[in-house]
């Protein structure tokens, strides 16, 4: 029995047989409820962090978006939803994107001062369900035309997995949208990619006016979660995710090629350093670096087993990674030697950017934090 139905039954027992007819129960819908304005917004759970020139943006629980101009205080913005926001990305000083739970995509075109929906979970569900039905027909036809048993078995496996996702979508029609988006990245003001749980990939070429479902762009029939998108200096797009998911796109997210992953556990993030080396990191302190665009990787020892969630590159070239229990790892990109620090909160960290004078801006479960790093010797 659904929770809301159970609550109604209890009310009926307590108030009599006419309770349902007399009472109008308003159901709280965080998807379309504006984010509450909080005096201590920066002390709540913050998940995503972005920097563009001198501006910083942080997003998190209850639809919180806060902005910092490089001086003064962080200022909370009015947001049309109160779902958990998971990631924020700045195309330029004016065009900012944020994504979150229940299929939310938000956009600001005035530097983060105001925000509007570009997609919600109901629209996402309609789009994905139509795509799943088309995919079902495609796989059924492919099975009928299979040239051998091996190909037929592979296609039947993919169809079985697809039917599982179709069943999940049908449940969502009953209970409402639940799928979270996990990251967003734009190549320019028009072309962008959004990724979400269970293998969801959306792409737009018109600045979010319309979206195409690109779930089949990656060989991911089981639907492992894609967790992070990162852009190389040459506009190559790297995607990392659950169960060692690792892929590369050379056409702005239209198609992806699978890469051999150095790790079969979850990868939570990736970045390119100033020497164009690709770093990937994730579960249980696993860190790897590639100097050939992901074709091969070197294992980097960082002396921690805590999950690593986010990273950034400092102005002096060092790589900084942060994760659970307040862990902060600073790595020399030439020697791969690492130095381990711990933030005084000992709280999970999910985002990091560099401010002035070797100061780190951090976000996580304990909200907004800072950390002062020692300067790089010899620089």
Task: Say whether 25 sits in a helix, a strand or coil.
Answer: coil
**359-375: per-residue pLDDT in tens?**
999 999 999 999 999 87
Distances (CA, A) of 294 to 122, 247, 249, 284: 36, 9, 11, 21
Mean pLDDT of 344-355: 97
Burial class (CB in 10 A: 0-12, 13-18, 19+), 301: exposed
Q: Which two tokens stand for residue 222?
A: 């089981």
Confidence of residue 2 (pLDDT cuts 50, 70, 90): very low
Are the CB atoms for 189 and 92 separated by under 8 Å?
Answer: yes
**Residue 11 in this model has a pLDDT that exceeds 80:** no
**133-166: per-residue pLDDT in tens?**
999 999 999 999 999 999 999 999 999 999 999 9
**204-258: per-residue pLDDT in tens?**
999 999 999 999 999 999 999 999 999 999 999 999 999 999 999 999 999 999 9
Confidence of residue 377 (pLDDT cuts 50, 70, 90): low
Distance CA 167, CA 33 (A): 28
* pTM, 2 dp: 0.91
Percent of the chain's residues with pLDDT above 70: 92
């Amino acid at each position: 029995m659904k929770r809301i139905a159970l609550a109604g039954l209890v009310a009926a027992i307590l108030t009599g047989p006419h309770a349902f007819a007399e009472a109008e129960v308003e159901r709280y819908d965080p998807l379309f409820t504006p984010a509450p304005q909080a005096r201590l917004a920066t002390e709540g759970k913050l998940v995503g962090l972005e920097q563009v020139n001198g501006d910083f943006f942080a997003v998190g629980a209850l639809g919180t978006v806060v902005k910092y101009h490089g001086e003064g205080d962080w200022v909370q913005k009015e947001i049309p939803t109160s779902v958990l926001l998971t990631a924020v990305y700045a195309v330029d000083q004016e065009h900012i994107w944020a994504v979150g739970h229940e299929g939310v995509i938000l956009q600001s075109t005035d530097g983060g001062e105001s925000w509007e929906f570009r997609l919600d979970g109901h629209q996402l569900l309609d789009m994905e369900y139509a795509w799943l039905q088309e995919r079902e027909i495609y796989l059924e036809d492919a099975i009928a035309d299979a040239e051998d048993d091996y190909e037929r078995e592979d296609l039947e496996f993919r169809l079985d997995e697809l039917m599982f996702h179709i069943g999940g979508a049908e449940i969502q029609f009953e209970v409402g949208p639940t799928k979270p988006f996990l990251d967003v990245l734009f190549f320019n003001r028009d072309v962008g990619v959004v990724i979400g749980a269970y293998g969801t990939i959306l792409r737009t070429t018109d600045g979010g006016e319309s979206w195409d479902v690109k779930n089949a762009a990656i060989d991911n029939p089981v639907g492992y979660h894609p967790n992070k998108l990162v852009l190389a200096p040459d506009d190559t797009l790297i995607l990392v995710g659950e169960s060692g998911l690792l892929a590369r796109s050379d056409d702005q997210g239209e198609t992806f090629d699978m890469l051999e992953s150095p790790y079969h556990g979850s990868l939570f993030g990736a970045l390119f350093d100033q020497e164009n080396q690709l770093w990937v990191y994730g579960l249980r302190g696993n860190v790897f670096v590639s100097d050939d665009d992901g074709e091969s990787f070197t294992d980097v020892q960082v002396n921690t087993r805590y999950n690593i969630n986010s990273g950034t590159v400092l102005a002096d070239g060092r790589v900084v990674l942060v994760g659970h229990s307040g862990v902060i790892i600073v790595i020399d990109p030439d020697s791969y030697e690492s130095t381990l620090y711990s933030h005084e909160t000992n709280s999970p960290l999910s985002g990091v950017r560099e401010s002035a004078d070797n100061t780190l801006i951090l976000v996580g479960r304990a909200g907004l934090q800072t950390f002062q790093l020692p300067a790089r010797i010899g620089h």
